[in-house]
Amino acid sequence: MSRFIVEGGRRLGGRLKIQGAKNSALPILAATVAVGRPCVIHNCPMLTDIEATLSILKSLGCEVHRSGNSVSVDSSRMSFTEIPDSLMREMRSSIIFLGALISRTGEASVCAPGGCDIGMRPIDLHLFAMEKLGVNLVEEHGHIKCRCQKTTGAKITLSFPSVGATENVILASLRCSGTTTIINAAREPEIVDLARFLNSCGARISGAGESTVTIEGVDRLFPTQYTVMPDRIAACTYMTAAAVTGSDILLEDVAPHHLAPILQCFEQSGCRINVSANRLRLTSSGGLRSIGTIRTMPYPGFPTDCQALIMTMASVSEGTTVICENIFENRFRHASELNRMGANISVHDKIAIVNGVRRLQGASVCAHDLRAGAALTVAGLCAEGTTTVENVHFIDRGYEALEKSLTFIGAKIKRID
Ligand code: EPZ
């Protein structure tokens, strides 16, 4: 198991290019199964979750080639519709293959997906929607076997704007008879990116990014090349690193409009932010103020994936910050690890109360999930002394060599395998 050794107390500086978005690249790669023609995906980040997705594509009989950050997938000669459990369990986004396989072949056999341990993460909304589209579902021996020669367009109201369920309905409806309308769809930018990719293949999706999305079934889809959007959570990660170390950094290849829900938090904490086109400059004196109350919400609210990072920032901000985690029921496990570093955080069900301290102390801490790992690494950057972050494999799921990017802007951090 790899670990990071982080030296605290160094200012950061310089410029950094933001990686392609993990949570956009994953559904887009799964969607190549539905397209059935050669696709080239650019700006695809080098992540273990991406590698797991490429393994699933190969297990289905797709031709897959990676050249740097470009991945070509040709699913035209795909020959299987069952995904091995070992691959399904590697990550949450494997469930998105359900809609893609049904759309392309009329059948799929999957087990419940894996993913970071941040809650139960049921798939009831996915299965509810598939049945509304006319998919026959049989759950036996831990597998979900799906059959539907051609989905029937339907009006589907999601009881929660689930990102994954919205993506699955879009994929399963690509070739439906008639039109599918999703009410209370997720509005995340990753949904817009997926729709843009699919429309570039000839799909007819409208309203992506809004609460009502319409998919008009088509008979054929076509080859395409597509460039994945920047990763807004990675951008927030480096912004937090600069904020807590009193640094001045320039981020390139960002999509500032995706960051709107978090920009005001950084400005409220005392950071100065300048945005131009696809670049963002953050300047921090290091003396941060509490940002009051943070509530994680579906987009365009404050993103749950930035919650751990903001907790790190709050732990060294003057005053008290209240964080309410409304999306996942087990996403505060980094609080106890931050307390090992001298933070003053108390957790009460879905509320965390963070009383800022002057400085954190380096310590040995454990990452329990992807974003918690990033948050603990950032905490090490501003702590006094050395911090060891265990379970770095969680971080590798979502960050392209986090330690190299941080070193590039002046941090002293090394990976010990
Ligand atoms: C996506 O997960 C992201 N993952 C998550 O990012 C992100 O935190 C989440 O959306 C919310 O923005 C990917 O895109 C691969 P949801 P997803 O379905 O699709 C409940 C990261 O760190 N729910 O919107 O799984 C669910 O339990 C990861 O990059 C049901 O109850 O999120 C959760 O409480 C972590 N039934 C809430 O909805 C369902 O059928 C939001 O889940 C589906 C979801």
Mean pLDDT of 165-173: 98
Whether the per-residue pLDDT at 140 is higher than 90: the answer is no
Res 411: pLDDT: 98
> Is 66 exposed, middle or buried, given 0-12, 13-18 or 19+ CB atoms closer than 10 A?
middle
Whether the per-residue pLDDT at 3 is higher than 90: the answer is yes
Res 114: pLDDT: 78
Q: What is the four-CA torsion angle of 244, 248, 253, 255, rounded to 10 degrees?
A: 60
Residues having CB closer than 6 A to ligand 1 are 22-23, 26, 92-93, 116, 119-126, 160, 162-165, 186, 188, 304-305, 327-328, 370-371, 398
Whether the per-residue pLDDT at 93 is higher than 90: the answer is no
- Helices and strands in the chain, H and E counts: 14, 25
Res 121: pLDDT: 82
Angle between helices 370-382 and 307-315 (to 10 degrees): 20
Res 177: pLDDT: 97
Res 280: pLDDT: 98
Mean pLDDT of 394-400: 97
118 versus 371: which is more confidently predicted? 371
Q: Which atom of ligand 1 is nearest to the CA of 49?
A: 15
How many whole angstroms from 98 Cα to the centroid of ligand 1?
Answer: 16
Whether the per-residue pLDDT at 92 is higher than 90: the answer is no
Q: How many CB atoms lie within 10 A of CB 325?
A: 23
Nearest CA-CA partner of 215 in 205, 226, 225 = 205
Ligand 1, atom 19: closest residue by C-alpha? 164
In contact, 288 and 244? CB cutoff 8 Å? yes
How many whole angstroms from 92 Cα to the centroid of ligand 1?
Answer: 8
Does residue 189 have a cis peptide bond before it, meaning omega lies within 30 degrees of 0? no
pLDDT band at 117 (very low <50, low <70, confident <90, very high): confident
Whether the per-residue pLDDT at 120 is higher than 90: the answer is no
Ligand 1, atom 25: closest residue by C-alpha? 164
Q: What is the pLDDT of the chain when averaged over all its residues? A: 96
Ligand 1, atom 16: closest residue by C-alpha? 162
Res 152: pLDDT: 97
Q: Which atom of ligand 1 is nearest to the CA of 116?
A: 35
Out of 23, 48, 397, mutate this one to test ligand 1's pocket (max ligand atoms within 8 Å of CB): namely 23
The tokens describing 75, both together, are 């699913």
Question: pLDDT digit string (tens) for 325-368?
Answer: 999 999 999 999 999 999 999 999 999 999 999 999 999 999 99
Question: pLDDT digit string (tens) for 6-21?
Answer: 999 999 999 999 999 9
Q: How many CB atoms lie within 10 A of CB 35?
A: 29
How many whole angstroms from 164 Cα to the centroid of ligand 1?
Answer: 6
Whether the per-residue pLDDT at 207 is higher than 80: the answer is yes
Walk across the sheet containing 70-74 and list its strands: 63-67, 70-74, 39-42, 224-227
Mean pLDDT of 399-404: 96
Out of 90, 110, 128, 160, mutate this one to test ligand 1's pocket (max ligand atoms within 8 Å of CB): namely 160
Mean pLDDT of 126-140: 95
Quote the pTM value.
Answer: 0.97
Q: What is the four-CA torsion angle of 29, 33, 39, 45, rounded to 10 degrees?
A: 10
The tokens describing 41, both together, are 């995906």
140 versus 163: which is more confidently predicted? 163
**Eight-state DSSP code of residue 81:** -
Whether the per-residue pLDDT at 115 is higher than 80: the answer is no
pLDDT band at 118 (very low <50, low <70, confident <90, very high): confident
Q: Which atom of ligand 1 is nearest to the CA of 190?
A: 14
Question: pLDDT digit string (tens) for 27-62?
Answer: 999 999 999 999 999 999 999 999 999 999 999 999
* Spatial CB neighbours of 299, under 8 Å, sequence gap ≥ 6: 186, 187, 188, 189, 261
Distances (CA, A) of 17 to 43, 304, 405: 11, 23, 9
Ligand 1, atom 21: closest residue by C-alpha? 305
Out of 327, 350, 395, mutate this one to test ligand 1's pocket (max ligand atoms within 8 Å of CB): namely 327
Q: Which atom of ligand 1 is nearest to the CA of 327?
A: 34
Res 141: pLDDT: 84
Handedness of CA 33, 34, 40, 44 (dihedral sign): negative
Ligand 1, atom 9: closest residue by C-alpha? 163
pLDDT band at 142 (very low <50, low <70, confident <90, very high): confident
* Spatial CB neighbours of 238, under 8 Å, sequence gap ≥ 6: 16, 18, 249, 251, 405, 406, 409
Mean pLDDT of 251-274: 96
How many whole angstroms from 10 Cα to the centroid of ligand 1?
Answer: 35
Question: pLDDT digit string (tens) for 375-396?
Answer: 999 999 999 999 999 999 999 9
Res 90: pLDDT: 81
Please calculate the CA angle 107-35-29 and round it to the nearest 5 degrees. Answer: 90
Res 273: pLDDT: 97
Question: pLDDT digit string (tens) for 281-336?
Answer: 999 998 999 999 999 999 999 999 999 999 999 999 999 999 999 999 999 999 99
CA–CA gap between residue 269 and residue 272 (Å, rounded): 9
Active site residues: 116
Residue type, 279: R
Q: Cα-flanking dihedrals φ and ψ of residue 316, to 5°?
A: -120, 25
Mean pLDDT of 257-268: 95
Ligand 1, atom 17: closest residue by C-alpha? 164
Ligand 1, atom 8: closest residue by C-alpha? 305
The tokens describing 265, both together, are 């938090």
